[in-house]
Amino acid sequence: MRSDTGQVFRLEDYRPSDYLIPRTHLAFRLSPENTLVTAELTIERRDGVARNAPLVLDGDELMLKSVRIDGKALDNSAYKATPDQLIIKKPPAGKKFVVSIETSLNPAKNEKLMGLYRSSNVYCTQCEAEGFRRITYFLDRPDILSVYTVRVEADRGEAPLLLANGNPGEKGTLPDGRHYAVWEDPFPKPSYLFALVAGDLGRVGDTFVTASGRNVELGIYVEHGKEARAAYAMDALKRSMRWDEEAFGREYDLDVFNIVAVSDFNMGAMENKGLNLFNDKYVLADEETATDADFANIEAIIAHEYFHNWTGNRITCRDWFQLCLKEGLTVFRDHEFSADQRSRAVKRIAEVRTLRAHQFPEDQGPLAHPVRPRRYREINNFYTATVYEKGSEVVRMIRTILGAELFRAGMDLYFERHDGDAATIEDFLKVFEDVSGRDLSQFALWYHQAGTPNLSVTSSHNPTTAEFTLEIEQSVPPTPSESRKRLMHIPVVFGLVGSDGEDIAYESVEGATVDNGVIHLRKRRHTVRFSGVKARPAVSLNRGFSAPVTLAIEQKPEGHHFLARYDSDLFSRWQSLNTLFTDALISGFRKRRGGKALDYPAELAALVGDIAADDDLEPAYRALALTLPGEADIAREIGTNIDPDCVFEARDALALSIAKTNADRFASLLGRLRNKGEFSPDAASAGRRALKNVLLDYLSVASGDPALAEREFIDATNMTDRAAALTVLAHRFAGSPQTVAALAAFEQRFHSDALVLDKWFQIQAAAPGPASVDTVAALMKHPTFSLANPNRVRSLVGTFATANQTGFHRADGAGYKLFADTVLAVEKRNPQVAARLATALRSWRSLEPTRQGKARQTLLAIAATEGLSADLRDIVERTLA
């Protein structure tokens, strides 16, 4: 394990390196336990740097075999090599020289899944962020752009397929059953985008003709026998390529584009130039094995990695502090793509739910950091919801402020001005200032300042003067190491809704800049006065979730009921209903905490029934509307002194009230929605399944009988319906004979399919209640459970810790104990995955005192462990701070 040096990296310390590496030749002689890597680096001294300045190359757990300069072996005293550094003390005085380095690697033993490793006998690489230095010594930083030629040599039987970045070059046969292939990537790239794959895999091929008529060979490589399951990913890839041409004018630039699916992968996927590597979970899908959510994720992630070719690869990051430059922007692009392919309103609601579930708790807890952080100890820990999701929201706000046309002009200028650069957030903001003439300096705080701003809003109406007034006050709560916050520029899309449900026109407005339906807040308080407003309107604020803020708006329940039925903005309609749910659940929680009986307003259940039955709304939208806020969402809104059992009971009771009120309506609707005809993964069909399965859950709650879910499970003809029915059985009827039988049937049918079995683990890990701690502990002893496979660990222990509030936070601390033991066991192999898992305890301070104390003890125990990795120590110490 790389020992934790405690070193902190700071944005202000950035300085260009003394040397550049314009050319990189790599040769790999692959063998499972002893791979030989030869790197021939053309090094160029940067202008103005002293001759003979030492050349310091990065390494990580490397074994140096030899080093030469311009073909000559170096004297032992001329360099210093450790596993994590190679220093050439006095390089040649000339402007250019060639350093040749031989290292030997053991890919079979590489369980960190960074650098070169083996996954199911396939050689593969993962270099972002700092994995390339586990392959050879290099200037492993994103502002060192190099043109790579790569020669891969392996046993032909073991690895008939040899891939690397760029375009294919020469290949040939060698003695002893070996062969080789050369790959050339003409585009200068940072080392984190390097990739190599060698193994025996099946191929799905296709071609794409670009807008300018160039032919691109597309390949998706998967385990033999699973080729048919890559069809949807291929379709998504071609749609992504076309969309980027149409929406952003971006064409693909190499002759080939390859995707490889592997089953051991630290994250979702990786955008290596011309050779994307994917967690197979985000490639493989068919109706038998994948849910509609899987199909949607595949579409989004295929698009995301493809879009990185321009936003990330052609224009990369100057340093890792600029990570959001590529990630936030690329998430924004994949969101837009999915919105265009599916339903914009439904997509937006799903995005906001994700943002609130993942980014808000980060922003409101001990791990809060700006979208562009200023310091880090371990960069792997900054691939966060803040960098990705909030980073995307910031780009969306730029478009809201500028309008679609100027936004596109700014993007065009960005590509034109920075193609081939390693750029910064300042570069990005500058193009939008230049095309619009606007000053974005206050807006830039969205990148620099952590924390979720809050808007507190009151309104008043004066019928005699026909004036409607909004008082809006912004505040940004303090976050770690940022106690004083500056005022932000917040674009709030709004509408004043009249009694007929139409937006009313006002005559004039003062108190804030208001243009194109956007209020621009820049000061602490704005008194926004609309004139010519005869009757008091309902205020629809932050439509489309134009700004990632929390809203405290003084609005009576009648107002929310009205907006939930009539707001012309579908997102805001959903938001109003969600607010009604949340308010009801919070008061339910308080009653439960106070030992009082739970009751919910009958109008709320009736409203839900009306929305469910409203055929003018698409089924996917209705499914989202009917989904109650999750237990973690409710806890977040309550804020402090959380007893997860009371949250659970409050939520359960609301579900029962809605279910009982609407049982007849729901039953007839479910009957109409039942699967007829052939399966299609398209958004409309998926929406019908989603609505049907939400109704299945309510009806099961209403009847208290597992028979309906059992029937749906047995009759299911696709994984979406099967997994949904199994979830109802396992979560609502734990231990019932029907549940036991269904779980066994599912296991038996899919035991040899890892991705499907992950769902089986996941469903059980999320089953609420105190007994789930023991269920999870028992499942960790299941013959297919493995600490080495990140998907399996995340499915079982990750799901337990993030999606099972009552189990994980069991009052006696047993859930925490199981969790800590697992985090430490995973850490021994894979610190990156362990550190991410450990973030599940970040909201410990919002728990009631007993659980809070137990959670803290757990964190302290992890922190006290000797020889902790930098990854885990960083998370645990920040969480405790």
Which residue numbers are catalytic? 305
Identity of the residue, 271 or 712, whose beta carbon is nearer to ligand TRP in the bound complex: 271
Single out the segment in contact with ligand TRP by CB under 6 A; choices: 176-184, 267-275, 351-359, 764-772. Answer: 267-275
**CB contact set of 661 (below 8 Å; sequence gap of 6+):** 602, 605, 606, 608, 609
Q: Nearest distance from residue 233's CB to ligand TRP, in Å?
A: 15
Torsion of CA 627, 735, 819, 789, to 10 degrees: -90
Determine the Cα–Cα distance for residues 556 and 175; give it in Å rounded to an integer.
Answer: 81
Residues 58, 138 contacting (CB under 8 angstroms): yes
**CB contact set of 304 (below 8 Å; sequence gap of 6+):** 269, 271, 330, 331, 333, 334
Identity of the residue, 744 or 788, whose beta carbon is nearer to ligand TRP in the bound complex: 788
Among 24, 266, 550, 839, binds ligand TRP (CB under 6 A): 266
Q: Nearest distance from residue 385's CB to ligand TRP, in Å?
A: 12
Among 269, 290, 476, 847, binds ligand TRP (CB under 6 A): 269
273 binds, among ligand TRP, Zn ion, none (CB under 5 to 8 A by kind): none
Q: Where are the beta strands (DSSP E) in 534-633?
A: 538-541, 550-553
Determine the Cα–Cα distance for residues 608 and 658; give it in Å rounded to an integer.
Answer: 7
Q: Nearest distance from residue 195's CB to ligand TRP, in Å?
A: 11
305 binds ligand TRP (CB under 6 A): yes
Site for Zn ion in 324-343 (CB under 5 A): 327, 330
Among 103, 126, 311, 879, binds ligand TRP (CB under 6 A): 126
Q: Nearest distance from residue 422's CB to ligand TRP, in Å?
A: 15
Identity of the residue, 195 or 201, whose beta carbon is nearer to ligand TRP in the bound complex: 195
Identity of the residue, 269 or 512, whose beta carbon is nearer to ligand TRP in the bound complex: 269
119 binds, among Zn ion, ligand TRP, none (CB under 5 to 8 A by kind): none
299 binds ligand TRP (CB under 6 A): no
Q: What are phi and psi of 286, to 5 degrees?
A: -150, 175
Among 270, 528, 847, 868, binds ligand TRP (CB under 6 A): 270
**Maximum pairwise Cα distance, the chain:** 95
Residues 121, 158 contacting (CB under 8 angstroms): yes
103 binds, among ligand TRP, Zn ion, none (CB under 5 to 8 A by kind): none
Q: Nearest distance from residue 383's CB to Zn ion, in Å?
A: 8
Residues 474, 496 contacting (CB under 8 angstroms): no
Determine the Cα–Cα distance for residues 680 and 696; give it in Å rounded to an integer.
Answer: 21
Identity of the residue, 299 or 721, whose beta carbon is nearer to ligand TRP in the bound complex: 299
Number of C-beta neighbours around residue 630 at 10 A? 16
Amino acid sitting at position 712: E
In Å, how far from its chain's centre is CA 270? 12
State the helix-helix crossing angle for 231-248 and 404-418, rounded to 10 degrees.
Answer: 100
Determine the Cα–Cα distance for residues 205 and 223; give it in Å rounded to an integer.
Answer: 14
383 binds, among ligand TRP, Zn ion, none (CB under 5 to 8 A by kind): ligand TRP
280 binds ligand TRP (CB under 6 A): no
Count of residues that interact with ligand TRP, criterion CB under 6 A:
12
Number of C-beta neighbours around residue 702 at 10 A? 21
Among 140, 292, 327, 633, binds ligand TRP (CB under 6 A): 327
685 binds, among Zn ion, ligand TRP, none (CB under 5 to 8 A by kind): none
140 binds, among ligand TRP, Zn ion, none (CB under 5 to 8 A by kind): none
Number of C-beta neighbours around residue 49 at 10 A? 14
Q: Nearest distance from residue 268's CB to ligand TRP, in Å?
A: 6
Q: Nearest distance from residue 391's CB to ligand TRP, in Å?
A: 11
In Å, how far from its chain's centre is CA 308? 14
Residues 504, 498 contacting (CB under 8 angstroms): yes
Single out the segment in contact with ligand TRP by CB under 6 A; choices: 171-179, 266-274, 789-797, 798-806. Answer: 266-274
Tokens of 602: 């009958």
Among 267, 283, 431, 608, binds ligand TRP (CB under 6 A): 267
Identity of the residue, 287 or 389, whose beta carbon is nearer to ligand TRP in the bound complex: 389
> Nearest 5 degrees, angle CA 455-CA 460-CA 465?
140
What sign results for the dihedral spanned by CA atoms 739, 743, 744, 749? positive
Single out the segment in contact with ligand TRP by CB under 6 A; choices: 64-72, 121-129, 171-179, 451-459. Answer: 121-129
Site for Zn ion in 52-111 (CB under 5 A): none
In Å, how far from its chain's centre is CA 414? 24
Q: Nearest distance from residue 222's CB to ligand TRP, in Å?
A: 18
Q: Nearest distance from residue 129's CB to ligand TRP, in Å?
A: 6
State the helix-helix crossing angle for 644-673 and 631-638, rounded to 10 degrees.
Answer: 140
Amino acid sitting at position 510: E
Determine the Cα–Cα distance for residues 157 and 141; give it in Å rounded to an integer.
Answer: 36
Single out the segment in contact with ligand TRP by CB under 6 A; choices: 264-272, 505-513, 663-671, 727-735. Answer: 264-272
Among 88, 101, 118, 128, binds ligand TRP (CB under 6 A): 128
Q: Nearest distance from residue 123's CB to Zn ion, in Å?
A: 23
Instruction: Give the x-and-dash track for 357-386 against ligand TRP (CB under 6 A).
Output: --------------------------x---
> Nearest 5 degrees, angle CA 699-CA 748-CA 266?
90
Parallel/antiparallel/unpaired status of strands 55-58 and 85-88: antiparallel
Q: What are phi and psi of 276, to 5 degrees?
A: -70, 140
What is the DSSP secondary structure assignment for residue 13, as one 8-state letter? G
Tokens of 827: 């850490």
Picking from 376, 373, 473, 386, the residue whose alpha carbon sits closest to that of residue 425 is: 373
Q: Nearest distance from residue 388's CB to ligand TRP, in Å?
A: 7
Count of residues that interact with Zn ion, criterion CB under 5 A:
2
Instruction: Give the x-and-dash track for 353-382 against Zn ion (CB under 5 A).
Output: ------------------------------
Identity of the residue, 243 or 265, whose beta carbon is nearer to ligand TRP in the bound complex: 265
Among 60, 185, 223, 271, binds ligand TRP (CB under 6 A): 271
CA distance between the termini of the chain: 25
Instruction: Give the x-and-dash track for 291-330 against Zn ion (CB under 5 A).
Output: ------------------------------------x--x
Question: Is the previous residue joined to 129 through a cis bond, with omega within 30 degrees of 0?
Answer: yes
What residues make contact with Zn ion under the rule CB under 5 A? 327, 330
What residues make contact with ligand TRP under the rule CB under 6 A? 126, 128-129, 266-267, 269-271, 304-305, 327, 383
